[in-house]
Amino acid sequence: MKLKNALISSLVFWSCATAAQASNILELFEYHGDEVKIKPGQSWLGLYSSGGKYELKPTKVAVTTVQDQILDEEAGQKTGKKISVPGKEKPIYVIGGVSGLKAGAVPAGVPLKKEFLDVGQKLNLKVGSSQATLVISGTKKGEYRNNYSITLESGGTKQLIMKASQIGEDTTPKLLWCGDLDGDGKLDLIMDTTDNYNVSNVVLLLSSKAKPGKLVEQVAVQHSTGC
């Protein structure tokens, strides 16, 4: 269950917030009720993993109201939302309301494991012939990271993904997945651009939606808080 007790005040995103209102990227767990907004009749694709291979599949998503163990104090009160899918096979994420994505095999990129992005790191990414680098900048001062930023670089183009005046060392943002979700032969990213140890801010970044002079565009985001 996610716990809402923190605000992202110092975090600066390059993408507009309207993408989050029209689309979703969700994990299969329980959210606070005000964290999940889904359009009626939403269709979904699940990102599934099997034997090191990935696939987008049409997926039925159930949103059930449940008791929020943190916020619901009255007996019988149910304000939480549980995200689930039928069957034994479970997706890593379910994605809704994002145009340009189709069911089928998805080329996975390198690296595949979750990567914490700390100051001074340069993470080389690759899928097929498409390559890019995540450059993490800032200064380390004790348990804090000041003037923290993440920049995506490829072919001479540099794009700021995230910037924060300060984060703690226990709140390092993460690269969650990279590959080619939209089938254009270029890198797409799923990242957690959080600035708080108790907050998750999962964003989906697609290359096919990138504006001129950019590498990717944020098309979905899910902000939630932890217990």
Residue 67 lies in a domain: yes
Residue 2 lies in a domain: no
Residue 4 lies in a domain: no
pLDDT value of residue 74: 84
Task: Provide the token pair at 27.
Answer: 């994990």
Cis check: omega of the bond before 111, within 30 degrees of 0: yes
Nearest-angstrom CA–CA distance, 16 and 218: 8
pLDDT in tens, the chain (227 residues): 443 333 333 344 433 333 435 799 999 999 998 899 888 889 999 999 998 899 999 999 999 999 988 887 888 889 899 999 999 999 999 999 999 999 999 999 999 888 999 999 999 999 999 999 999 999 999 999 999 999 999 999 999 999 999 999 999 899 999 999 999 999 999 999 999 998 999 999 999 999 999 999 999 999 998 76
Contact between 192 and 25 (Cβ < 8 Å): no
pLDDT value of residue 227: 64
Residue 1 lies in a domain: no
pLDDT value of residue 183: 97
Residue 3 lies in a domain: no
pLDDT value of residue 3: 36
Residue 6 lies in a domain: no
Question: pTM for this one?
Answer: 0.89
**Residue 123: domain span:** 11-225
Residue 132 lies in a domain: yes
41, with CB counted inside 10 A (0-12, 13-18, 19+), is exposed
The domain tally of the chain equals 1
Residue 218 lies in a domain: yes
